[in-house]
């Protein structure tokens, strides 16, 4: 009767491999014990751990309790199953195979757990810090760094899993390295751009929505990616500049703070009197002072005796700017300056060249 029951449930084959009834009972008890422990831990997460997290002032433990429940359960079950199968007498190849599969699964679940920890830290600590900073660069760079770290964890887990399956990981890496050398040579510009993005984040020479000039291009920064800086030019075009170039070239930031700067030079003819020169500078200053979008810290200076003109430079800051507002302000001030010069008879200079011919004997 007992033999018929064993054959009916399919356990006779297991007993024939050297497993006695004692082994089978231990196996079933250990299997049940594994799932009991997993259930108890799950209830702790749902009950006690959750209550502790709600009492504490930190948000980190709340995120950890919510994120670690599933991966911890899978880790407990995986470890329990590996121990449970050791209660049976199994063929060596099958036992080794079970151990390897359990180890690979455990590595994967640990990597999953680490990524859940990263998610919790990001949600509770890093993201609030990013939102509280003045710079907008970290809003784009931090998610990139987060994905990079997560990818590194899974890549390391993959390599460890391959190694535990019996493959020589060093030979594999060597083989990949030979092919990867050619890829690295081809991707050196990409790598330099990635390093450039990290440098931009570290130095923070500008922020998102700043008006900058780099490599002859002027525009508003819209995005800093891993490879390129994207900026919107005054004509509406999107300009992509490699990050390596941004790091290597001088960057003029025209918008520290909440205003954008504009500077220009107007030239008056050399026969303009000192009185008229001062009057012209005063007229420019009044135009800047009266404009509702220009800050009061404007400047008007007689800066240089140019090759063909008396050069007067004026600079001002446009408050609460956007590209249309900025360009409209420049347009309005330029028109007002031209009208003032025309009304007072102040002649603007233009490039001239005098040629003196000498008569040879």
Q: Is the pLDDT of residue 360 over 90?
A: no
pLDDT in tens, 314-335: 999 998 888 899 999 999 999 9
What does 81-136 look like in DSSP terms, one character per residue?
Answer: HHHHHTTS---HHHHHHHHHHHHHHHHHHHHHHHHHHHHHHIIIIIHHHHHHSS-S
Q: Which two tokens stand for residue 18?
A: 């050297």
**Rounded Cα distance, 153 and 145, in Å:** 12
Kindly tell me if the per-residue pLDDT of 273 is higher than 80. yes
Distance, in Å, from the CA atom of 81 to the CA atom of 75, rounded to the nearest integer, reads 10
Region 98-105: mean pLDDT is: 85
- Say if CB 116 and CB 153 are below 8 A apart: no
Beta strand 217-224 with 299-305: parallel, antiparallel or unpaired?
Answer: unpaired
Instruction: Look up residue 271 and give its two tokens.
Output: 């026969």
pLDDT digits (tens, 9 = 90+) for 284-308: 999 999 999 999 999 999 999 998 8
Tokens of 50: 């959750």
Q: How far apart are the C-alpha atoms of 65 and 52, rounded to whole Å? A: 10
Is 60 exceeded by the pLDDT of residue 11? no
pLDDT at 134: 65
Domains of the chain, with CATH numbers? 13-132 (no CATH), 154-256 (2.30.30.60), 259-344 (3.30.70.100)
Inter-residue contact 222 to 238 (CB < 8 Å): yes
Closest CA to 36 of 80, 87, 71: 80
3-state helix, strand, coil in the chain (%, to 5): 60, 15, 25
Q: Which of 111, 103, 64, 72 is nearest to 85 (CA)?
A: 103
Mean pLDDT for the chain overall: 80
CA-angle at 94, arms to 90 and 100, nearest 5°: 125
């Amino acid at each position: 009767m007992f033999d018929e029951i064993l054959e009916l449930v399919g356990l006779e084959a297991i007993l024939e491999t050297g497993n006695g009834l004692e082994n089978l009972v231990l196996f079933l008890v250990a299997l049940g014990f594994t799932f009991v422990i997993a259930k108890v831990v799950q209830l702790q997460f749902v009950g006690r751990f959750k209550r502790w997290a709600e009492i504490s002032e930190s948000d980190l433990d709340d995120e950890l309790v919510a994120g670690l429940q599933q991966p911890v359960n899978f880790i407990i079950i995986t470890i329990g199953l590996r121990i449970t199968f050791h209660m049976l007498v199994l063929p060596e190849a099958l036992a080794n195979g079970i151990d390897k599969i359990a180890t690979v699964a455990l590595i994967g679940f640990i990597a999953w757990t680490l990524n859940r920890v990263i998610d919790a830290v990001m949600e509770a600590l890093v993201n609030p810090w990013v939102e509280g900073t003045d710079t907008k660069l970290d809003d784009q760079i931090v998610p990139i760094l987060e994905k990079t770290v997560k990818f590194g964890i899974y890549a390391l887990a993959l390599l460890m899993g391959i190694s535990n399956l019996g493959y020589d990981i060093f030979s594999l890496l060597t083989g990949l390295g030979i092919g990867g050398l050619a890829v690295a040579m081809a991707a050196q510009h990409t790598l330099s751009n990635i390093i450039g993005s990290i440098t931009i984040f570290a130095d923070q020479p500008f922020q998102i929505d700043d008006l900058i000039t780099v490599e002859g291009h002027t525009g508003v920064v819209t995005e800093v990616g891993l490879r390129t800086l994207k900026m919107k030019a005054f004509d509406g075009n999107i300009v992509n500049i490699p990050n390596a170039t941004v790091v290597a070239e001088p960057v003029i930031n025209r918008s520290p703070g909440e205003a954008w700067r504009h500077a220009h030079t107007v030239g008056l003819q050399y026969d303009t009197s000192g009185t008229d020169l001062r009057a012209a500078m005063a007229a420019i200053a009044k135009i800047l002072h009266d404009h509702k979008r220009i800050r009061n810290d404007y400047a008007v200076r007689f800066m240089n005796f140019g090759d063909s003109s008396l050069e007067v430079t004026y600079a001002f800051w446009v408050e609460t700017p956007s590209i249309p507002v900025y360009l409209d302000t420049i347009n309005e001030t330029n028109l007002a300056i031209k009208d003032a010069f025309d009304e007072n008879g102040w002649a603007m200079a233009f490039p001239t060249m005098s040629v003196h011919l000498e008569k040879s004997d």
